[in-house]
Amino acid sequence: MMRFFLLFGAVAAGLAVGAGAFGAHALEGRVPAGRLEVFETAVRYQMYHALALLFVSWAGRTLEGGALLAGAGGCFAAGIVIFSGSLYLLVLTDTGWLGAVTPVGGVAFLAGWGLLVAALAQGV
């Protein structure tokens, strides 16, 4: 599982860089400034949580608390897909109802951080 989080985190980080470049160069002037800010939020949270996945993978190889770490990693991965993915789709398709899906990804991020804290408290 930790290898999956390592791979997912590395891929997600690389895609965040690409998405950021796409937003800065291809979307600027093509979408309203407010939607561009939403896109940038998606990129930022994707990168934060890609790095969190890399940390989870490292922690899973060095600390105890494997089930909690696996839960944290799963929440971070799900959050990237749901939170950032829904925002990307919202901006690119101008489909406003996708904004109602985004908080589910935010809850996944929060749950991931809570599980990571619990795992670190147990494993340290």
**Tens-digit pLDDT string for the chain (124 aa):** 899 999 999 999 999 999 999 999 999 889 999 999 999 999 999 999 999 999 999 999 888 768 999 999 999 999 999 999 999 999 999 998 999 999 999 999 999 999 999 999 987 5
pLDDT in the model for residue 65: 65
Q: Which of 103, 41, 116 is nearest to 74 (CA)?
A: 116
pLDDT in the model for residue 28: 86
pLDDT in the model for residue 63: 82
Q: Which of 37, 45, 58 is nearest to 109 (CA)?
A: 45
Q: Alpha-carbon distance 56 to 64, whole Å?
A: 11
What are the beta bridge partners of residue 31?
A: 28
pTM assigned to the model: 0.94
Q: Which domain holds residue 65?
A: 2-123
Q: Alpha-carbon distance 107 to 77, whole Å?
A: 12
The domain tally of the chain equals: 1
CA distances from 109 to 29, 41, 102, 104 (A): 31, 14, 11, 9
